[in-house]
């Protein structure tokens, strides 16, 4: 279970950033229906959270779009790993020695995945763009909730790979990396299994979850008959898209500039909350959309409020980084 937990956590960024073409298409169609001059940059996913914030913002920077193939590749590889790991575990549970070639194949696949994971995280962290850096901080915050860091996950996965190779070659497994508490991992896994602690996202649950295919609004809501509401929605979308464009050079901002940008991001999030809340109070927020969001969040072992807290944690980490930059500047 500890190893499986590591694999699940290893893929969290890719899972958060999955593309959902069907929902995107519907969202863009709705926006075109509402706007005389549609905003052309609504290209990617708005999938899980009830408001289009964080990784579910439909306005994508070019840098984040360039990262999508790597994220999708990692996510596509996860079910295959889960299947192979399940087969190996079943063999051992039934007293059978796992096939050596299969062990070596899985071990090589793990090393390759860790290489890709480390490369992706490095690109996210070093990017000039705000959205891609936000992905990295979301990963950091999520792993932190499970008492892990990305570096620890990588070390643990590489050790697992070495153990598999040793098993395949009938050799003694290598000792655990320094600082790895195997007993603690087993206890955490047992607590999660018994419902005493939050569990990592389940690949099986995620695969079974219904994807977000509906939109937050159908376009037929009575509120949109008001030109004031339509204008507010258009301005909110345009302001959000403009802010994402500005964030493309986030790394070049000084510490104060980064803090000011984060303030603007949170203001946009508040505006979306108010806009959505108005429709929710009127009973005009698409119920199918709400249900699908809740189901998908549930499959990731997150509630809507927990996701919002996670995003807040990520932004707080970015604020701390900005404050440290300020302290490093000449007085």
Q: What is the pLDDT of residues 24-42, one digit of tens each?
A: 444 444 544 444 433 443 3
**Residue 53 zone, left/alpha/beta (φ > 0; ψ -120 to 50; rest):** beta
What is the pLDDT at residue 97?
Answer: 78
Identify the band that residue 240 occupies on the pLDDT scale cut at 50, 70 and 90: very high
What is the pLDDT at residue 11?
Answer: 37
Is residue 247 classed exposed, middle or buried when 0-12, 13-18 and 19+ CB atoms within 10 A define those classes?
A: buried
**pLDDT at residue 189 is higher than 90:** no
> Over the stretch 274-290, which tens digit does the pLDDT of each residue have?
998 888 888 888 888 78
Strand partners, 59: 42
Cα separation, 199 vs 191, in Å, equals: 8
Cα separation, 251 vs 101, in Å, equals: 46
- Indicate whether this model's pTM tops 0.95: no
Structure tokens at 147: 């008492």
The residue with greater pLDDT, 262 or 204, is 262
**pLDDT at residue 104 is higher than 80:** yes
What is the pLDDT at residue 259?
Answer: 96
H or E stretch at 14: helix 12-16
CB 139 within 8 A of CB 150: yes
**Residue 259 phi/psi, 5° resolution?**
-65, -40
CB 138 within 8 A of CB 310: yes
> Over the stretch 290-330, which tens digit does the pLDDT of each residue have?
887 787 777 767 788 888 898 999 999 999 999 998 886 44
């Amino acid at each position: 279970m500890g190893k499986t937990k590591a694999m699940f956590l290893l893929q969290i960024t890719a899972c958060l950033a999955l593309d959902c073409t069907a929902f995107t298409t519907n969202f863009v169609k709705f926006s075109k229906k509402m706007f005389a001059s549609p905003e052309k940059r609504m290209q990617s996913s708005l999938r899980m959270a009830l408001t289009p914030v964080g990784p579910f913002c439909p306005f994508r920077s070019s840098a984040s779009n360039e990262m999508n193939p790597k994220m999708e590749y990692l996510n596509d590889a996860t079910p295959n790993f889960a299947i192979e790991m399940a087969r190996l575990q079943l063999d051992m549970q039934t007293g059978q020695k796992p096939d050596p070639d299969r062990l070596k194949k899985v071990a090589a696949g793990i090393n390759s995945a860790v290489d890709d994971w480390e490369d992706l995280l490095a690109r996210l962290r070093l990017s000039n763009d705000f959205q891609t850096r936000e992905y990295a901080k979301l990963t950091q915050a999520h792993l932190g909730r499970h008492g892990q860091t990305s570096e620890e996950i990588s070390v643990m996965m590489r050790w697992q790979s070495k153990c598999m190779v040793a098993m395949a070659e009938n050799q003694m497994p290598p000792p655990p990396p320094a600082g790895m508490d195997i007993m603690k991992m087993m206890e955490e896994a047992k607590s999660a299994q018994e419902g005493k602690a939050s569990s990592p996202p389940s690949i099986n649950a995620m695969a079974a979850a219904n994807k977000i295919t509906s939109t937050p609004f159908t376009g037929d809501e009575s509120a949109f008959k008001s030109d004031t509401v339509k204008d507010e929605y258009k301005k909110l979308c345009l302001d959000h898209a403009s802010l994402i464009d500005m964030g493309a050079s986030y790394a070049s901002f000084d510490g104060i500039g980064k803090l000011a940008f984060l303030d603007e991001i949170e203001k946009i999030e508040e505006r979306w909350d108010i806009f959505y809340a108005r429709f929710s109070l009127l009973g005009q927020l698409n119920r199918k959309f709400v249900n699908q969001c809740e189901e998908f969040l549930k499959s990731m072992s997150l509630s809507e409020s927990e996701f919002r807290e996670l995003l807040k944690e990520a932004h707080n980490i970015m604020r701390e980084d900005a404050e440290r930059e300020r302290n490093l500047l000449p007085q």
